[in-house]
Amino acid sequence: MTYASHLDILVADDTAVSRALLCNSLEELGFTRVRVENDGKAALHKLMQKPAHLVISDYNMPGLNGIELLRALREFQATRSIGFILVTGRSDRSLIDEGRKYALNNYLAKPFTTIGLKASIEAVFGKLA
Amino acid sequence: MAPDLVRNIVLGELHVSDEPGLVICTTVGSCVAACLFDPVRGLGGMNHFLLPDGAAAARDDGAQRYGVHLMELLINSLLSRGASRTHLQAKAFGGASLTRGLTNAGASNVEFVEWFLRVESIPLVGGSVRGTQGRRVQFWPNSGRARQMLCAPIEVVVPRSQPPAVQPHGELELF
């Protein structure tokens, strides 16, 4: 049985179109428990109230960027173990290395594909059925 | 008066500036040049893109993601230099239909950019799209002023493919 329908996911992206594209792909892959936030601070606030299993976050966001959000999540007991996939248009290796310092689980380069998104989630949680 | 500084961009490029007097130039046919600017900050930028896959582009997921990525690059460049998302305004140029007989890639590019701006709540305050002529576009990012010059129309007709001629000799089997 697939874990897709049990995984709580929060998508953080300040671009509405990108949020919609991510949600469409997640829906296509069978994920039904998906929340969205449009900036890093709001995402952190919501995750403190109700943690998720996975955060899929854009890098460029107002308030907190993707790495700052990751760093903040790792500081609190309740959110420390949340899986984190960074979505970025920058192919900057130093950005990924910076994320690794805070236990970044994976990253996804833009423009992404549904297959690429699936692979990046599977690398964290295992094969989807 | 000092002459304007000119920065030319081509397909796939973008440029962002707040320099007074700097003008960003490009020439578009079926491609689209999206000009975004924050009039409060006095900062703007232009990109020049063409979605892959012609007429299907506006409905194709892959092409959409590519276009979204290019628009995001422009928006992120502006935001990282101090523009405010709530102040952003847009002007769009291009998307002409230059070739009769081929898929209308220009219309798909315009459809995409208009959809993107609508969803992102960025008001489209000017520009010139569609039609049958290429455009030379000038954009002053510091003020948001834009100007276009239409290029002379080019009549390109792609002939319909002709069925192969039947040889007068040889056998022809009809089904």
Contact (Cβ atoms closer than 8 angstroms) between residue B20 and residue B4: no
Question: pLDDT above 90 covers what percent of chain B?
Answer: 63
pLDDT in the model for residue A62: 84
Determine the straight-line distance between the first and last CA of chain A, rounded to whole angstroms. 6
Q: Which of A17, A89, A112 has the CB atom closest to B119's CB atom? A: A17
Which has the closest alpha carbon to B134: B102, B90, B93? Answer: B93
Counted across chains A and B, CB pairs separated by less than 8 A come out at: 43
φ and ψ at residue B55, rounded to 5 degrees: -65, -25
Contact (Cβ atoms closer than 8 angstroms) between residue B22 and residue B7: yes
pLDDT in the model for residue B58: 47
Which has the closest alpha carbon to B71: A22, A27, A110, A91? Answer: A110
Least confident of A43-47, A90-94, B122-126: A90-94
Q: Residue B57 above 50 pLDDT? A: no
Determine the straight-line distance between the first and last CA of chain B, rounded to whole angstroms. 78
Residue A3, CB half-sphere, CA atoms under 13 Å: how many?
A: 13
Task: Locate the chain B residue with the closest alpha carbon to A116.
Answer: B62
Q: What is the pTM of this model?
A: 0.80
Domain that holds residue A113: 4-125
Q: Residue B30 above 50 pLDDT? A: yes
B61 within a domain of the structure (yes/no): yes
B161 within a domain of the structure (yes/no): no
Q: What is the CATH number of the domain that holds A104?
A: 3.40.50.2300
B99 within a domain of the structure (yes/no): yes
The pLDDT tens digits for B158-171 are: 566 666 655 555 55
The pLDDT tens digits for A54-79 are: 999 999 888 899 999 999 999 999 99
B171 within a domain of the structure (yes/no): no
Q: Which residues of B touch A60 (CB under 8 A)?
A: 72, 76, 79-80
Residues of B recognised as catalytic: 31
**ipTM rounded to 2 decimals:** 0.74
- What's the token pair of residue B86? 């709530």
Q: Residue A90 above 90 pLDDT? A: no
B172 within a domain of the structure (yes/no): no
**CA–centroid distance for B51 within its chain:** 9
Domain that holds residue B80: 5-155
Contact (Cβ atoms closer than 8 angstroms) between residue B35 and residue B93: yes
Domain count, chain A: 1
Better-predicted residue by pLDDT, B82 or A63: B82
pLDDT in the model for residue B67: 85
Q: Which residues of B touch A20 (CB under 8 A)?
A: 119
Please give the torsion angle defined by the CA atoms of residues A17, A35, A38 and A20, in that order, rounded to the nearest 10 degrees. 0
pLDDT in the model for residue A120: 96
Q: What is the CATH number of the domain that holds B79?
A: 3.30.1330.200
Domain count, chain B: 1
Average pLDDT taken over every residue of chain B? 85
Please work out, in degrees rounded to the nearest 5, the angle formed at the alpha carbon of residue A20 by the alpha carbons of A18 and A24: 120
